Amino acid sequence: MQVLVIGGGASGMMAAIHAAAGGCRVTLLEQNKKLGKKLYATGNGKCNLTNLQMHPGDYRGNDPAFAVEALRNFSVSDTLSTFSEMGLMTKERYGYVYPHSEQAKSVVSILTLELRRLGVRVLLSCKALCAGQENGVFYVDAELTEEGRRQRLFANCLVLASGGLAGQNLGTGEVGYEICRLFGHRLFPTVPALVQLQTAERFLRPAAGCRADADVTLQVGEKNYRENGEIIVTDYGISGIPILQLSRYVAMAKKEEVCVLHLNFFPGKEKEDIRALVEIQLQKSFALERTAEEAFCGMLPDKLLYALLKEAGISGSEAAGCIHEQQRKRLASLFGNLRLTVTKTLDFTKAQATAGGVDVSEIHPHTMESRRIPGLYITGELLDIDGTCGGYNLQWAWTSGALAGKALAKAVKP
Ligand SMILES: Cc1cc2nc3c(=O)[nH]c(=O)nc-3n(C[C@H](O)[C@H](O)[C@H](O)COP(=O)(O)OP(=O)(O)OC[C@H]3O[C@@H](n4cnc5c(N)ncnc54)[C@H](O)[C@@H]3O)c2cc1C
């Protein structure tokens, strides 16, 4: 059986490997000059390829249960065995899994070696322009970009693995979504996910670069979303894992909905506890005749503390004993409930994932086969599933790719 795979990224390579291992004759089309270009950039070049801790909340979309169901059929341990069988040694840190070399390149190399061993025909610099089906046969019109010519390729089955829109210069594009539409699939609007947020308040700008642990609540209209972890103040707004994980809800907010972040820099502590902390620090500093800056030294990174003191109307050099009741209250409130108005997310070039995409109610969760068009398979980020930070998006790519490849293999040898 002839199989065409559009996209030589994570899910496309995984699909091609499983299909070829099962006896399919596979041709893989990749628009870039090399396979897995995005993989090189993952995990800051280390490739956080999966996570040993899987919870249902790690996946988002209109039907995250679809991902959970798929993961039951190709799990994290299936992924690790597959990579181990291919010869990749991995290491784990707090559940996060990386290649032992901590070089993303190793993951691409192992996948490429396996594609070669299985005889997968790889066409690089080959961009799919459109696809269709005639008399039960799939075709893909592709442009061989280096040679400047076009070619029509045919197959019994087609895997769409062309990825989402996230990542700068890594080989993203709309073609995959357009092909899904042409085949009659319903798509939810695509927006950036796992991306930094721009905020309106300017008083935090001098604290750019500061990192602090925080409980973070994002308020979108009437709804609240919560995360916890290290935030990073930036010169345009705010970043850090909890912020990235909340960003999809900002991107999906309706125009009329106001998005506000509430940061508590003393995780788990209530308003009264933080008030008490401020008072204790002040009590200690009266006898020592400290300044305001000195009184709160060590509670937060210096630049962040100075920005919050200033916002509370407190001069850092004034005597701690001179800080009046209103200022103390204001400072405690900035420590425990700093409100930041979100103006927008940064765009797809800075995002690590795409939220939205192909409606998974039209896809079989055990095979990734289209319920509309038998023989058509859709994998990875094209689908309306996005994961949180920590290896969950790549796990989704491995799972969906492997399930498609295995289903194709089964179709050859029922
Ligand atoms: C900077 C960055 C860091 C990330 N880090 C992590 C991480 O550490 N852990 C994690 O789990 N996830 C991470 N992700 C997310 C993860 O990389 C993706 O979710 C995953 O690669 C999606 O797999 P995919 O197969 O759907 O698409 P991709 O891996 O993007 O592959 C799609 C492939 O299709 C090709 N293509 C597109 N259109 C065409 C066409 N018309 N013709 C031919 N080829 C085409 C593309 O060039 C690309 O090679 C990161 C993303 C980014 C941007």
Domain ranges of the chain: 2-192+354-412, 196-346
Ligand 1 atom at shortest distance from the alpha carbon of 51: 11
The CA 7 to ligand 1 mean position distance, Å, reads: 9
Please choose, from the candidates 262, 305, 231, 283, the residue with its C-alpha nearest in 3D space to the C-alpha of residue 275.
Answer: 283
Distance separating alpha carbons of residues 301 and 184, to the nearest angstrom: 53
Q: What are phi and psi of 401, to 5 degrees?
A: -65, -45
111 lines ligand 1 (CB under 6 A): no
Exposure string of 244-276, with b = 16+ CB inside 10 Å and e = fewer, is bbbbbbbbbbeeeeebbbbbbbbeebeeeebbe
Torsion of CA 103, 108, 113, 116, to 10 degrees: -170
DSSP letters spanning 380-396: GGGBS-EE-TTTHHHHH
The CA 382 to ligand 1 mean position distance, Å, reads: 10
The CA 9 to ligand 1 mean position distance, Å, reads: 6
pLDDT digits (tens, 9 = 90+) for 138-197: 999 999 999 989 999 999 999 999 999 999 788 889 999 999 999 999 999 999 999 999
Element containing residue 354 per DSSP (H, E)? strand 353-358
The CA 330 to ligand 1 mean position distance, Å, reads: 45
292 lines ligand 1 (CB under 6 A): no
The predicted pLDDT at position 285 comes to 78
175 lines ligand 1 (CB under 6 A): yes
Q: How far is CA 16 from the centre of its chain?
A: 23
Please choose, from the candidates 307, 313, 299, the residue with its C-alpha nearest in 3D space to the C-alpha of residue 265.
Answer: 299
Distance separating alpha carbons of residues 71 and 50, to the nearest angstrom: 12
Give the CATH number of domain 2-192+354-412: 3.50.50.60
388 lines ligand 1 (CB under 6 A): no
240 lines ligand 1 (CB under 6 A): no
The predicted pLDDT at position 142 comes to 98
Please choose, from the candidates 396, 398, 402, 8, the residue with its C-alpha nearest in 3D space to the C-alpha of residue 193.
Answer: 396
pTM of the model: 0.96
Query: Under DSSP, is residue 280 helix (H, G, I), strand (E, B) or coil?
Result: helix
Please choose, from the candidates 369, 412, 405, 354, the residue with its C-alpha nearest in 3D space to the C-alpha of residue 5.
Answer: 405
Burial class (CB in 10 A: 0-12, 13-18, 19+), 189: exposed
Exposure string of 122-147, with b = 16+ CB inside 10 Å and e = fewer, is bbbebbbeebeeeeeebbbebbeeee
The predicted pLDDT at position 169 comes to 80
**Low-confidence spans in the chain with pLDDT less than 70:** 287, 414
386 lines ligand 1 (CB under 6 A): no
4 lines ligand 1 (CB under 6 A): no
- Judge contact between 207 and 303, C-beta under 8 A: yes
- Judge contact between 248 and 197, C-beta under 8 A: no
Q: How far is CA 72 from the centre of its chain?
A: 21
The predicted pLDDT at position 287 comes to 66
The predicted pLDDT at position 388 comes to 97
161 lines ligand 1 (CB under 6 A): yes
Residue nearest to atom 19 of ligand 1 (CA): 393
Distance separating alpha carbons of residues 274 and 11, to the nearest angstrom: 47
Query: Within 10 A of 398 (CB to CB), how many other CB atoms are there?
Result: 28
The CA 53 to ligand 1 mean position distance, Å, reads: 22
pLDDT digits (tens, 9 = 90+) for 370-404: 999 999 999 999 999 999 999 999 999 999 999 99
Ligand 1 atom at shortest distance from the alpha carbon of 166: 53
Please choose, from the candidates 148, 110, 111, 105, the residue with its C-alpha nearest in 3D space to the C-alpha of residue 126.
Answer: 148
Handedness of CA 386, 390, 394, 398 (dihedral sign): negative
Burial class (CB in 10 A: 0-12, 13-18, 19+), 79: buried
176 lines ligand 1 (CB under 6 A): yes
380 lines ligand 1 (CB under 6 A): yes
User: CB within 8 A of 276, min separation 6: which ones?
Assistant: none
The CA 175 to ligand 1 mean position distance, Å, reads: 14
Ligand 1 atom at shortest distance from the alpha carbon of 7: 34
393 lines ligand 1 (CB under 6 A): yes
Ligand 1 atom at shortest distance from the alpha carbon of 380: 26
Strands (E), 176-308: 187-193, 197-199, 211-220, 223-233, 237-240, 259-264
